[in-house]
Structure 1
Amino acid sequence: MTQGTEGVSGTQAHGSGPKAAPAQSERSPARTAESPGTAAHLLPHEESDELGLRLQHAVGDFVDEPRAAVQEADRVLEEATGRFTEAMTRRRRTLRATWQSPETTDTDTEQLRLALRDYRELTERLLSM
């Protein structure tokens, strides 16, 4: 994957101190790409790879067709931001459902703690892009 697509597919938020993301061993082992946690990539590898290849082709075509190359790079960025926005919206909707469900009460502090952790991780990851 190219450096240009690394932020789209996502990497774990970096940081130190009390606000750093918990180590992988502290995360729930049952997480999947559809779960609200941020351990999974925001976009599937296939989408990230496809966008990265399109961008690479645009860069490679610059010498022969500079305007067309820049136009393609613009389309790739537009598509990447659209897909990223959709992925973030889905992730937030899923995360919200985990703590706003009727089964989750104010006394279910473990579920709320996990939700807060996932919100923090997702927000830190977004801010580090």
Structure 2
Amino acid sequence: MTDDVRAGRTTGTTGTASTTGAIGAEEPHQAPLLSREESEKYGLRLQHTVSGFVDGPRDAVEDADRVLQEIASRFTEAVTERSRTLRASWQTAGEGGPSAADTEQLRLALRDYRELAERLLKL
């Protein structure tokens, strides 16, 4: 798994990770699901686990299982939070009939849903 996939960064048609400036400069729909620090922490833990295989194969595999479970749990939490944010963005739109502003807000919400779903499908 690449660092980009672990961090939830998307790739373009070339298959390379998109480059953005500082994390705070990214648009919300392009933000990594996990912070760079969190991704690096899990990467280091997994690297440490793999390097310990020779001295304790069973312990290494058990630790790898724990790391994977933690990563899966964090991705689940991050996707759930992102889903809540997306839902709130369009459910607050006016209910008395769509205005141009409401339609634009819905278009942006749909774009963000599609982008998140595509990112998840590429994992």
TM-score of the two chains, using structure 1 as the length reference: 0.76
Q: What is the alpha-carbon distance in structure 1 between the residues aligned to residue 39 and residue 66 of structure 2? A: 14
Equivalent in the alignment of 1:122: 116
TM-score of the two chains, using structure 2 as the length reference: 0.80
Deviation of residue 88 (structure 1)? 0.2
Q: Mind listing any 5+ residue stretches in structure 1 that lack a counterpart?
A: 17-22, 25-29
Structure ranking higher on relative contact order (CA contacts 8 Å, 6+ apart): 1
Whether 1:83 aligns to 2:74 is yes
What percent of counterpart residues are identical?
54
Deviation of residue 102 (structure 1)? 4.8
Structure with greater helix percent: 2
Map 1:53-64 → 2, pairs under 5 A = 53-64=44-55
Equivalent in the alignment of 1:6: 4
The 1:126/1:46 distance shift into structure 2, 3 A limit, reads same
Aligned residues: 112
Equivalent in the alignment of 1:71: 62
Q: Mind listing any 5+ residue stretches in structure 2 that lack a counterpart?
A: 20-24
Structure 1: 4+ residue segments shifted above 4 A: 102-105
CA contact (8 A) 2:4 2:10 kept: no
RMSD after superposition: 2.4
Q: What is the alpha-carbon distance in structure 1 between the residues aligned to residue 121 and residue 59 of structure 2? A: 32
